[in-house]
Structure 1
């Protein structure tokens, strides 16, 4: 009988030790968090309609822009956003507000970061797209058209020359105050670093930015995964961040616009 009691006692001690080891292992290797970023281009604006350069300049959302933003918000209404970001540009901030207003959950305050602003196009701000693009197109033997049909060939020529579009456009600025590629990377990286730091526990994050800045943000988060796809107004690009690695899930998705 004493031997049985001793055996039971030993088994109990072993069970406790095993439990402690498992607990220590659980603490040493916590479950990996996952952050899902919903990166949205702002709704269509007046300058988008008139073909004017809209970098750090701003113009209001059009009726169409508001309607599509509301529709996007409805498609995301069941996503519980832990955090939300834009810049201080009204078109970005208002797009974020409309999306969050449609959400069924408790929505976060919008944090404004300069890193999500559009490119500063210097003296071309407010001028026509033709004014902006003609200097670089002329240099590479191309002609402007308002459907941007030249963009693929221009990209190829710039790649051969080892020049980014941002730097090529900045070079054409007579005042030489337009942002360079390095300028965009610097402020974009600072903004993304802050978002990822504040989202370390995981969850869903809304970021509203602009068509020229979004490709830069994608290259910062997920180098080599962006293939030059067009970033439409009110499109949403989703990026999954897990264990410090980012993966683009969908790029410039507007499929929600086809929903009945």
Structure 2
């Protein structure tokens, strides 16, 4: 029987900037009490899952979420390894902008009327607006974001696939998770227009290809 690696990919818990309705890409802020409680709850939900490894992006919010999940889940001895390939998109001039203003700007630019799921299904165009308007020089091309996320999953999957059907915890960010959907299951972008704090998806790697479990 061939082994498969299951990645449990979640978004971090609510942060201070989330609470203040600010867009948050490479800018970072700590978890709120509500964010800690939600991460704890997710850990309790995952208590029957035995993780072989745990990873987060190199932001404090993702690392804190990962540690909180594992503590509640009963595997607090497992180290959360940070990897910058799991970072969120850099949002350029929209970093820490009012979230409603950010979303309405994107919808206006793409001439979308009140349909958030359409905004999601046009992910590539959303990125293009952010990329073209960037004055910081820090916004990555979309291909670079896809490449770093996929290379992380492939490298990690290949390193662990010799184990007996290992499970891996990954804490990342909303646009990063949408990018994984774009890569492996585009139809999910319309089905799941919003990635909320501590939302979780499962991705399987069989050594050849990825599939997202719904």
Shift of 1:108: 2.6
Aligned equivalent of 2:148: 187
Equivalent pairs counted in the alignment come to: 210
Equivalent-residue separation in structure 2 for 1:104 and 1:136 (angstroms)? 41
Aligned equivalent of 2:159: 198
- Cα 1:133–1:175 shift into 2, 3 Å: farther
* SS of aligned partner of 1:39: strand
Shift of 1:197: 1.8
Gaps of 5+ in 1: 1-30, 144-148, 251-260
Normalised TM-score (structure 1): 0.72
Given that residues 82 and 107 in structure 1 are in contact (C-alpha distance below 8 angstroms), is that contact kept between their aligned partners in structure 2? no
Shift of 1:224: 3.7
Aligned equivalent of 1:19: none
Given that residues 61 and 91 in structure 1 are in contact (C-alpha distance below 8 angstroms), is that contact kept between their aligned partners in structure 2? yes
Aligned equivalent of 2:69: 99
Normalised TM-score (structure 2): 0.86
Given that residues 5 and 205 in structure 2 are in contact (C-alpha distance below 8 angstroms), is that contact kept between their aligned partners in structure 1? yes
Q: 2:81 aligns with which of 111, 133, 148?
A: 111
Equivalent-residue separation in structure 2 for 1:118 and 1:152 (angstroms)? 20
Gaps of 5+ in 2: none
* SS of aligned partner of 2:52: strand
Shift of 1:175: 4.2
1:231 is aligned to 2:200 = no
1:16-95 matches, within 5 Å, as 31-95=1-65
CA RMSD of aligned residues (A): 2.4
Given that residues 117 and 189 in structure 2 are in contact (C-alpha distance below 8 angstroms), is that contact kept between their aligned partners in structure 1? no
Equivalent-residue separation in structure 2 for 1:45 and 1:131 (angstroms)? 19
Q: State the structure with bigger RCO (CA 8 A, min sep 6), 1 or 2.
A: 2
- Cα 1:197–1:219 shift into 2, 3 Å: farther
* SS of aligned partner of 1:240: strand
